[in-house]
Structure 1
Amino acid sequence: MISEITIKDEFWERYIDLIKNEMIPFQWDVLHDQGNITIDKVRNNASIPSDKSHAIENFKIAAGQSKGHHYGWLFQDSDVYKWLESAANVYRIAQDEKLKEMMDEVVDLIEDAQDEDGYLSTFYQIEAPELKFRRLFESHELYCAGHLIEAAIAYQAATNDDRLIQVVEKLIRCIENHFGSEKGKINGADGHQEIELALVKLYEVTQKEEYLELSKWFLEIRGQDPEFYQKQLDENRKIGLGKEHPFPINTVYYQAHKPVYEQEEAAGHAVRLVYMAAAMADVAYHTENKKMLTAAKRIWKNIVKKRMYITGGIGSTVLGEAFTFDYDLPNDTMYCETCASIGLMFFAKAMLKNEPDAEYAHVMERALYNTVISGMAVDGKHFFYVNPLEVNPESSRLDPTKSHVKPTRPSWFGCACCPPNIARTLTSLEQYIYSEMNDTLYVNLYMDHQGRVKIQNEIVEVEQKISLQSEGSIQLKVKSSNPIKLALRIPTWVENMVIKKETKEFCYEVIRGYAVITIDQATTLNLTFDIPVVMHQAHPKVKDDYGKVALQRGPFVYCLEEEDNGKDIHLIRVLDEFKTEVLNQCDLGKLVSIKAKGEKQIIDKEWEQKLYRGYEKPSFTKNDLTFIPYHLWENRTEGEMQVWIHKK
């Protein structure tokens, strides 16, 4: 779908401005090893590089401009590509010559680093050229290629310069020369999915069928031979190119345990899974592959019905950053990687191309307004890799099983996939607002903006203005040459929605979560609705949430912080009385807090010398509770935080 949208939403403009003015310059310094920046390990693991980024220097070494060794992860190149994509998105929004110079410097460097045959992956160029494409279970060569493709698309769209498109097309020719079902070629896929969804995007821009076919081939070859990665290593060892791998390759982790058409649940590394599923949905749409769409829908259903957190987070364990089993959703040892929720947004967006079901947009919104933006502090310079639903700083510091759960946002990570992923996503939000099918324009997200979208051959002018502070309202202006069908998503968090044209109330039909109406060439619609505080409970099989509730208002899930409610939050239980309060805090900006009545268990003096005692009915003291939107937690002081709270 082609759109030219300018976001003018106060809430989202703040983030976009942070990315433009703080995050992109900050990341530039990080990538260039400049500034006094502390780089944290994602968890307590001595093997995680954290001295510096070195990402730009790796390219300079590969290009012959510097001498030295590669530093960092095998996929460090992708940090540069995602930075470039973010910068291009910002440049498209507001052209800035200094930013253009920075981007061009990176593009020049990428061009210089590329080998004559098109190959580009700085670790293998610098340290192990004999192992190019020979350790696919871990190499991330095609993963990085995918991020380069996406950066090239964004750079061309922003600057009308196709130099990077030429680089990626040369790289793809190199890949095509090495991969395929023909004798002598590599009959397998990268251990980390990404190129699959990037190739579809390149197809959408260039209309070159070979890119769509290559994406489909990488998806279909995955899992055809579950022993593929091990066989690569065995062959390397036989010809003297590698040592025996110290542990068996977990094919489930890579979603390579069975063909994608046969996969029925969300399993393995969460980011890889949703990147793969997004590509499956995209390929299914463009090739009308119903079998692949059915497989994608099975994965979707398993995630959102049994393996997704209320914040839109996914990934229940730090071991493998992975899914575990149905209803296993621990709040204080989970993973909920920022990139995983971004990937869930990709998946939802791709599914909306195939079928107009509001559930996809509901989940996309849930992930965006909670886990995704929780990943960045309000200063634009500190980030979460992991997004917990319950934190005790002492546990994070002293319990080795919770070292990945950070009580404060670090400046940067040795594995820094998440910060630039946030930047490229939030600077491309206009791509998620609308979708189309046949003659209907679907409104999936609500935020202030104006611009144009193309539906079939019709250019439609659109404008939205929303308010969610007290009573909810949305004004939607639509102008087209001919009458069109408009489908307005009915959010799960609204009540008593009324749609009016001028002063006349519309009667509308609800189809799969959308209010569907036919509008004239120029129409102004006014939507009004209540925004209640919703008290959620989890499925009874989610044992970590049993007997607890989580609050939501609008698209935002809420939490308790020690800053407002004192220590030992686990002793608090909430009552039923809620009221909202609009605040403008210097640390957090404008927000709607929820005030509630609660009780907190008293720890009497007898407990001072006892660990256990005979049961006595506990005593409680009355407490006034303050809930804030989850995405804003840990922007003031370090302390406890909890989303799921006991209910009396």
Structure 2
Amino acid sequence: MTEPSSSTSARFRPPAIHQVKVEGFFGTWIETLAATTVHTLLDRCIQAGMLDQIDPARPNPGLRIPFQGGNSTVSTQMFWDSDFGKSIEAASYTLARHPDPALEAKIDEIIDAYARLQAEDGYLNSWYLRIEPGKRWTNLRDCHELYNAGHLMEGAVAYFHATGKRRFLDIMARYADYLCSIFGTGAGQMRGYCGHPEVELALVKLGRATGEQRYIDLARFFIDQRGQAPHYYDAEAAQRGDDPKDYYFGSYEYSQSHEPVRDQRRVVGHAVRAAYLYAGMADVATEFADHTLTPALGALWDHLTKKNLYVTGGFGPSAHNEGLTFDYDLPNATAYAETCAAVALVFWASRMLGLGPNRRYADIMERALYNGALVGLSRDGTRFFYDNPLESRGAHHRWIWHHCPCCPPNIARLIASIGTYAYGLADDGIAIHLYVAGEASLALPGGPVRVRLETRYPEDGQIAITLLPEIPQTFTLSLRLPEWAQGATLTLNGEPAALTDQVQDGYIQLRRQWQAGDRLELDLAMPVRRLHAAPEVGANQGRVTLMRGPLVYCLEEQDNGPALNSIRLNSSGLMRCDAVDELGGIVTLAVEAVRERPDKEEDLYTTNAKDAAPVTVRAIPYYAWDNRMPGEMLVWLREC
């Protein structure tokens, strides 16, 4: 294996949560999170019994009822620490926007419980300290110990940035110090890694927040060890008396540990685990300028986006393994496309941008964000999707809670922290990846720079950017030019700016000495586009889907009546955009079509062509479906 560079210089890093104030489209969502969702998350976690499990001051919940997917009899969950960690993270991001003493007190109560739980050596895991004590580190393959640690670390970093309180951060730093002593290549250390990648991302965040390089080094260790021979999970299984071949998922492809990460070229296995791993690889590549990871990351990205990605930015069609099957397997009605997978894809894409602005990654980040991820949360902030089909006969709906409640806090923490995904900051430049209304306060070596962004995006593509450096300074401003934005125009201080020679990797690169008040106006055309699937995707042949800007559209029964598959779009029919107040003023599409009117007395199969009558159908953004009356939904539409 080639040894990575020893350099630790980063390229583009995201700003911290308190550096970006979000308004507009996502500002409205964050208001809902602050008022409703984060309270709902913490309350439902506590109602489920999570605080009973972690707090040694409470009676031990013990082993009670059968646990799905295993031989144990438990009503508690070994991954509950992760749900608390993500919920605290989401709530912390809203606290950075809206101080809420009651919410802060609730989080402090949970942190107090974790302080009481933490072992003297720093170890912190409610399952192995209260439910199955004495078994720590005996089953990294299946039991989520490091995954739980990662989400708690991310929650601690978020809470520190939001409130300035260090207690949770210090608790998790103490745990990370313990991990650094346990895992490594030294004598007596473990060369293991988690079956569910995630801790790698958290260690990088923790290292950045605390300035402790050893945490980032540990993230690199976990990446480097994965899939190495002899296989750690084989030895681990034998040590606990199990046959390594007796594995429910059969292959280590399930956890992307089937081969060393630098040898991997195909996205396989559990979708969320895959994207978390690749995000961790990208973080390590950025932090260490490790170009040995670049070929694998590029090939994995291409394999996913060119052969296995839903048009919504979701991936993983199978409920069996919550993940990948074979190339071009993209069914609609049975699509699993877990919300967490789309969220994790946003994480991965964002970290790929750490290597520099590149539309290849940012466009997919935006697609997954606005469609496959955002659909996971209802407009009122109280109900959630776990899996996300692209067609429904009317039986698929959001739920209040789930026995595996990973998706609700995951989508909440993503939306609440969206400002950190919108920008990238390097020593000599600022990149704007997402056009999120609001203001960022960023620090360059030449001094602080405020960036004011005004837009109604994604309602329209008009974006005004005002730069307010404290003193004039020279740097490169990179603006993403989405692939779908044909015919975009840009002005600088009212004068047209030529784009031809200034676009690199899909970003407009503007280098100059910036003065306070410099104003850019970017206009991205947003025509409605008809997308066709590759011929290998059999389910979508003869069908199209509609997109406008970053949004995928669908039909709902409430607007168009039942039997949505009886509708065929005219190949050259007119389309117009309307605003609909009942869904928060979103832009809907009115599209010319025909509806087949079969004779109900005809046989199931007939030689008679069906009569068809002209009709205008309404399409709404995919993220907004199932917010009104229940009914059918369809993304891929038949075309005349």
Matched, 1:621 2:618: no
The answer as to 2:496 corresponding to 1:498 is no
2:578 and 2:590 in contact (8 A); partners too: no
In the alignment, which residue of structure 2 is the partner of 1:351? 352
Q: TM-score, normalised by structure 2?
A: 0.91
Distance 1:584 1:365 in 2: 23
- Aligned pairs for 1:400-411 (under 5 A) are 407-411=396-400
Q: CA deviation at 1:605?
A: 3.6
Q: Return the letter of the residue paired with 1:604.
A: D
1:18 equivalent to 2:32? Answer yes
Change (3 A) 1:237 1:82: same
Equivalent in the alignment of 2:341: 340
Structure-1 separation of matches of 2:574 and 2:24: 26
Counterpart for residue 120 of structure 1? 124
Matched, 1:171 2:185: no
Map 1:149-548 onto structure 2 (within 5 A): 149-225=153-229, 227-237=231-241, 247=248, 249-393=250-394, 396=395, 407-437=396-426, 439-468=428-457, 472-480=461-469, 481-508=472-499, 509-519=502-512, 520-522=514-516, 523-548=518-543
Q: Give the equivalent residue in structure 2 for 1:68.
A: 61
Q: 1:29 aligns with which of 30, 33, 43?
A: 43
AA of the residue aligned to 1:611: L
Deviations 1:443-491 (A, max 9, x none): 1110210131123443211001113477631111012221332221112
Contact 1:356/1:437 (<8 A) preserved: no
Counterpart for residue 565 of structure 1: 560
* Aligned counterpart, 1:404: none
Flag the 1:164–1:580 CA change in 2: closer, same or farther, 3 A: same
User: Of 602, 627, 630, which residue of structure 1 is paired with 2:622?
Assistant: 630
Which residue of structure 2 aligns with residue 401 of structure 1?
A: none
Give the conservation status (yes or no) of the 8 Å contact 2:431–2:479: yes
- Measured against aligned partners, the alpha-carbon deviations of 1:251-271 in whole angstroms (never above 9, x if no partner) come to 110111111011101110000
| 2:610 partner amino acid | P
Give the counterpart letter for 2:511 in structure 1: T
1:639 equivalent in alignment to 2:631: yes
Structure 2 contact 54–113 (Cα < 8 Å) conserved:
yes
**Residue 559 of structure 1: CA displacement?**
0.2
Deviation at 1:564, TM superposition (A): 0.8
Judge conservation of contact 1:268–1:320 (CA < 8 Å) in 2.
yes
2:140 maps to which residue? 136
What whole-Å deviation, never above 9, does each CA across 1:545-574 have from its counterpart, x for those lacking one? 111111011211100011111111112111
Distance in 2 (alpha carbons) for counterparts of 1:605 and 1:164: 65
Structure 1 range deviating more: 543-552 or 625-634:
543-552
User: Bigger CA drift: 537-546 or 502-511?
Assistant: 502-511
C-alpha distance in 1 between matches for 2:309 and 2:361: 13
Q: Tell me by how many angstroms 1:190 deviates.
A: 1.0
- Please give the secondary structure, in 1, of the residue aligned with 2:576: strand
Aligned residue for 1:419, secondary structure, equals helix
Residue of structure 1 in register with 2:68 after alignment? none
Alpha-carbon separation, structure 2, partners of 1:603 and 1:596: 22
In the alignment, residue 482 of structure 2 is paired with which amino acid? P
- For residue 437 of structure 1, report the CA deviation from its aligned partner: 4.4
Change in Cα spacing, 1:423 to 1:324, as seen in structure 2 (3 Å) is same
Distance in 1, matches of 2:437 and 2:160, equals 26
Task: Measure the CA separation in 1 of the matches of 2:204 and 2:605.
Answer: 60
Q: How many Å separate the matches in 2 of 1:449 and 1:582?
A: 25
- In the aligned structure 1, how far is the partner of 2:314 from the partner of 2:85? 25
**Counterpart residue type for residue 134 of structure 1:** T
Q: 1: distance between equivalents of 2:173 and 2:493? A: 51
Q: Who is 1:38 aligned against?
A: none
The structural deviation recorded for 1:438 is 5.3
Conserved? CA contact 2:25–2:437, under 8 Å: no
Amino acid at match of 1:622: P
SS of 2:121's equivalent? coil
Contact 2:437 2:456 in 1 (8 A): no
The answer to whether the aligner puts 1:581 opposite 2:572 as a matched pair is no
Q: Is the 8 A contact 1:580 1:592 kept in 2?
A: no
Distance in 1 (alpha carbons) for counterparts of 2:459 and 2:406: 37
Q: Distance in 2 between matches of 1:486 and 1:173?
A: 38
Asked whether the equivalents of residues 285 and 291 of structure 2 are also in contact (C-alpha less than 8 Å), the reply is: yes
Structure 2 contact 52–58 (Cα < 8 Å) conserved: no
| 1:599 corresponds to 2:603 | no
Please identify, of 628-637 and 158-167, the stretch whose mean Cα deviation from structure 2 is larger: 158-167
Q: Which amino acid aligns with 2:494?
A: T
RMSD: 2.0
Gaps of 5+ in 2: 1-12, 64-74
Amino acid of the residue matched to residue 100 of structure 1?
A: E
Instruction: Give how far 1:611 is off.
Output: 3.3
Identity of aligned pairs, percent? 33
Q: Using the alignment, how far apart are the partners of 2:153 and 2:51 within structure 1? A: 18
Deviation at 1:127, TM superposition (A): 2.3
Q: Does the 8 Å contact 2:450/2:468 carry over to 1?
A: yes
Q: Secondary structure at the match of 1:224?
A: coil
Q: Aligned to 1:280, what secondary structure does the other structure show?
A: helix
How does 1:85-124 map onto structure 2 within 5 Å? 85-124=89-128
How far, CA to CA, are the matches of 2:122 and 2:332 in structure 1?
Answer: 45
- Cα distance in 2, alignment partners of residues 468 and 577 from structure 1: 26
Q: Read off the aligned partner of 2:632 and give its amino acid letter.
A: E
Specify every segment of 5 or more residues in structure 1 that has no aligned partner in the other structure, as ranges.
Answer: 34-52, 397-406
Question: What CA distance in whole angstroms lies between the structure 2 residues aligned with 1:86 and 1:248?
Answer: 32
The answer to whether the Cα contact below 8 Å between 1:230 and 1:249 also exists between their aligned partners in 2 is no
Contact 1:502–1:524 (CA<8 Å) still a contact in 2?
A: yes
Distance 2:443 2:143 in 1: 40
How many aligned positions are there? Answer: 608
State the AA in 2 paired with 1:15. W
Instruction: State whether residues 581 and 592 of structure 1, in contact with CA within 8 Å, keep that contact through their aligned partners in structure 2.
Output: yes
Does 134-143 or 493-502 show the bigger shift?
A: 493-502
